[in-house]
Amino acid sequence: METLRKINLGRFGRDKGFWIFVLLILVALVFLQTGSVVRILVMLVALVAAITVHECSHAWAAKMLGDHTAAVAGRVTLNPLAHLDPFGSVMMLITTITGFGLGWGKPVPVAPYRLRYGPRVGNGIVSLAGPASNILLAALVALVSRLIGAWSGVPVIVLLVLEYLVLLNLVIACFNLLPVPPLDGYAVLIALFSLVRSRWANDLVGGMEGLYRYGWMLLFGVILITQLTGFGLLDRLVGAPAYGLFGLLMGY
């Protein structure tokens, strides 16, 4: 535990200038957008919590399947500092303020060939753990929200935080389940096809694995298509199921 604490403090020390810069940006935005300060702060906290749980679950699943790479790196923790990527955090801040963008955490280091069930199925399970944890957390928070919402005198800010926690966890889960590299859904899809014992499935999996090198280009291509064409691809694939689950869990 002491070693892990030193690792985390060392990481903070190395990135201290960056975090101070982010804090200054946040403070400036608070003064510039006083009408939406509460919403920005609540959304940012919820987003950081959702990404922290997501990345921690990847690391925990890998450890349970026999790969301790992430555990040794101090990633099996709910400390946000262990999971936040500097540039990804800036993007989270921009996304929170503008409502458009893409934030992310530090990729969890995984050695697929150390995983139980093989590199493809094992990696699929590790990948699925992230979105699954977000859905589970959303369900638990929704239950708490509905229970305390029945009481009178509960501060509105508390209910707002809980609602954003539910919604953002569902959005992150649905987005990451898209079958596009480098998202989790792509690794899950490869794992499913690898279970099919046939030559065509093996060839298909090999071709799919070759697309990983173009992952970010494909992902940004999907995002650009959504924004430039007005087709609303991400709204259909991410927004619709996320809001559908949100209504179901919250009882709306």
Question: How far apart (Å, rounded) are the C-alpha atoms in residues 218 and 199?
Answer: 26
The 3-state secondary structure of 14-48, one letter per residue: HCHHHHHHHHHHHHHHHHHCHHHHHHHHHHHHHHH
Catalytic residue among 2, 55, 163, 209: 55
Judge residue 166's burial from the number of C-beta atoms within 10 Å of its C-beta, 0-12 exposed, 13-18 middle, 19 or more buried.
Answer: buried
- Whether 55 is a known active-site residue: answer yes
Q: How far is CA 82 from the centre of its chain?
A: 14
Residue 105 backbone phi and psi in degrees, to 5: -105, 180
Q: Is 152 helix (H, G, I), strand (E, B) or coil?
A: coil
Active site residues: 55
